């Protein structure tokens, strides 16, 4: 399980680099990972990574930390982890095993550790 989490962290960092390169080239975020040229990448548990530009997420549905503050200002990118379930607050049990990009890219790891 630890190896799968490490693999997901590396994947998310690579996907993030591609999204940021797209943003530099086109002066906007891609609408989807397909538009970024990544297809539909899957995590080590066989589920698709979730990518959503923050501007397209209603404020009440954005991913949040333990203080219920949104964790990203640009885009959300995460794996739903081993259980394949996730909800917006990182404190929810369904989100504990998610491998997330947070703090606008300064953190990539398990949601429970953010």
Name residue 89's beta-bridge partners: 64
Closest CA to 16 of 57, 75, 70: 75
Q: pTM to 2 decimals?
A: 0.95
Residue 5: what pLDDT?
98
| CA 91 distance to own-chain centroid | 16
Q: Are 8 and 41 in contact (CB under 8 A)?
A: no
Q: Are 114 and 90 in contact (CB under 8 A)?
A: yes
80: which 2 tokens?
């739903």
Splitting the chain (114 residues) into consecutive groups of 10 residues, what average pLDDT does each group show? 98 98 98 98 98 94 92 97 95 96 97 96
Tokens 């962290």 identify what position?
A: 9
């Amino acid at each position: 399980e630890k190896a799968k989490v490490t693999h997901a962290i590396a994947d998310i960092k690579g996907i993030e680099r591609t999204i940021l390169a797209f943003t530099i080239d086109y002066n906007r975020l891609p609408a989807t990972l397909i538009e970024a040229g990544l297809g539909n990448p899957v995590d080590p548990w066989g589920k698709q990574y979730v990518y959503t530009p923050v501007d397209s997420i209603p404020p009440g549905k954005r991913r949040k930390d333990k203080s219920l503050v949104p964790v990203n200002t640009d885009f959300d990118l995460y794996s739903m982890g081993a259980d394949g379930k996730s909800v917006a607050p990182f404190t929810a049990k369904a989100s504990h095993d998610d491998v997330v990009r947070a703090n606008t890219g300064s953190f990539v790891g398990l949601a429970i550790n953010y």
